[in-house]
Amino acid sequence: MMNVRITIATWMTIAAAFAAQAQNADIRIAKGTGKTGIDLSTLQAGADGPSREFFSVLQTSLLRSGWIERGTPQASDYAVVGSITSDGTSVRAALQLVQRSSRQVLLNQTYPGQGAGIRAAAHRAADDIVYAITGRKGFASSKLLMVGNRTGSKELYMADSDGRGLYPLTADKTVSMAPRWSKDGQQIYYTSFLRKFPAVYRIDLASRKRTRVSNFAGLNTGGAVSPDGRDMAVILSKDGNPDLYLMRLADGSLTRITSTPRAVEASPGWSPDGRQLVYVSDQTGTPNLFVVSRSGGQPRQITTRGRQNVSPDWGPHGDIVFSSLIGGKFQICVVNPQTMEIRQITSDHADHEDPSWAPNGRHIACAITKQYKSKVYLIDTMGDAPILLTDYEGDWYSPKWSP
């Protein structure tokens, strides 16, 4: 419970919510869905555009969390009360989350926003509400990187977690691919053919300055920065076949991790604690996932089924999501790297590629290709229906969630 001063007017609003609930003493939390119902009916929002936008983004973000559903005053143990007001350009949302059964105020916070900041404020409010109710981290405030060809070239874009607020990061009229975030979310690493051959670049989001960080002869790709920010996992072919290396970002020094002269490595990613790496190798004849210590040593194969297993992403809860070629289509699977137990998440007749974990460790974003068109979707690993995130012109690929 937050230690925030509550005004008399706020208490009157909360009391009204309690009184409404008292008319029906049988308090129920939504059953059969695993979700908690929230009553938003007493949240007062202005009729102006900015107020409506805040309310819409708040409600959508709560529902997409996977833990929340819209409830009725009679059947919801939780209610969001307060007001959303606007002067026409900016918004001030004074929100309180009350639990009716305990008569407690779990959240009392004001969320100001102006212009594009209105959506950001609503996302923060949704994440705070989800955490107050469930103790679980939300993902509404996070960002998405993705590659899109709406201009005719594969350029790099950034968007809000719901796919809105699309913003171009490159305009190079060439191929950009494999975007990655730094651990603090302040820098972006990606592979570009800006100078006719693949090199890894870094973009500082504050200054928009771009720096080339891996520019060896041959292939340079991967660009996955370690959780401690010191090293970057990169695939280099400077010594022959593409192998996995670690580059010390401070001085550019290299440590070779794999040496497979008759195989190709790709798509490195870090474990949450930074002690291990997952990557793809075809050393067994077909692409499979391998795990290796950051200090090197003998890699361990963790996938065996499926004709191809590619594009791994190591999630915050320890599981690795990847794409597996099953029945002629790429499907999303999750593997426990310790037990090697695999769970298939998707099964429809479409290709599901480039999966990336959301910060909550429950949802993923991936590119789904149907009828030769690729779009980015939100996938719930616990069963909610997929949600289209990129209803824009062109094809969209390689989504990557911010930390």
Summarised one tens digit per residue, pLDDT across range 135-156 is 999 999 999 999 999 999 999 9
User: For residues 335 and 278, what is the distance between their CA atoms, to the nearest angstrom?
Assistant: 12
User: For residues 82 and 84, what is the distance between their CA atoms, to the nearest angstrom?
Assistant: 7
User: For residues 329 and 353, what is the distance between their CA atoms, to the nearest angstrom?
Assistant: 10
Give the pLDDT mean for 378-386: 96
Q: Which residues contact 49 (CB under 8 A, 6 or more apart)?
A: 86
The confidence score (pLDDT) of residue 196 equals: 87
Give yes or no for a contact between 118 and 54, defined as CB atoms under 8 angstroms apart. Answer: yes
User: For residues 390 and 387, what is the distance between their CA atoms, to the nearest angstrom?
Assistant: 9
Q: Which residues contact 231 (CB under 8 A, 6 or more apart)?
A: 225, 246, 247, 248, 249, 294
**Tokens for 17?**
């919510």
Instruction: Classify the C-alpha dihedral 342-347-353-358 as positive or negative.
Output: negative
**Helix, strand and coil in the chain, % to nearest 5:** 10, 45, 45
Q: How confident is the model at residue 34 (pLDDT cuts 50, 70, 90)?
A: confident
CA-based nearest residue to 303, from 330, 284, 331, 277: 284
- What is the overall mean pLDDT for the chain? 91
Question: For 349, phi and psi rounded to 5 degrees?
Answer: -85, 70
User: For residues 158 and 83, what is the distance between their CA atoms, to the nearest angstrom?
Assistant: 31
Is the pLDDT at 24 greater than 60? The verdict is no
Q: How confident is the model at residue 12 (pLDDT cuts 50, 70, 90)?
A: very low
Which of 222-226, 266-270, 303-307, 364-368 shows the lowest mean pLDDT across its residues?
Answer: 303-307
CA 328 to chain centre: 27
Alpha-carbon distances, residue 23 vs 44, 80, 217 (angstroms): 21, 18, 74
The confidence score (pLDDT) of residue 279 equals: 98
Give the pLDDT mean for 15-42: 57
Alpha-carbon distances, residue 99 vs 65, 78, 207 (angstroms): 19, 5, 44
Q: Taking the model in full, what pTM does it have?
A: 0.90
Instruction: Give 208-253 as a 3 state SS string.
Output: CCEEEEECCCCCEEEEEECCCCCEEEEEECCCCCCEEEEEECCCCC
CA-based nearest residue to 35, from 67, 2, 75, 3: 67
The confidence score (pLDDT) of residue 23 equals: 40
| H-assigned helices in 98-213 | 117-134
User: For residues 215 and 212, what is the distance between their CA atoms, to the nearest angstrom?
Assistant: 7
Give the pLDDT mean for 100-125: 96
Work out whether strand 68-70 and strand 36-39 pair parallel, antiparallel, or are unpaired.
parallel
**Tokens for 257?**
């991790």
Work out whether strand 36-39 and strand 78-86 pair parallel, antiparallel, or are unpaired.
parallel
pLDDT tens readout for residues 77-87 = 999 999 999 99
CA-based nearest residue to 199, from 188, 190, 208: 190
Q: How confident is the model at residue 264 (pLDDT cuts 50, 70, 90)?
A: very high
The confidence score (pLDDT) of residue 103 equals: 93
3-class SS at 41? Answer: coil
**Tokens for 383?**
């069963």
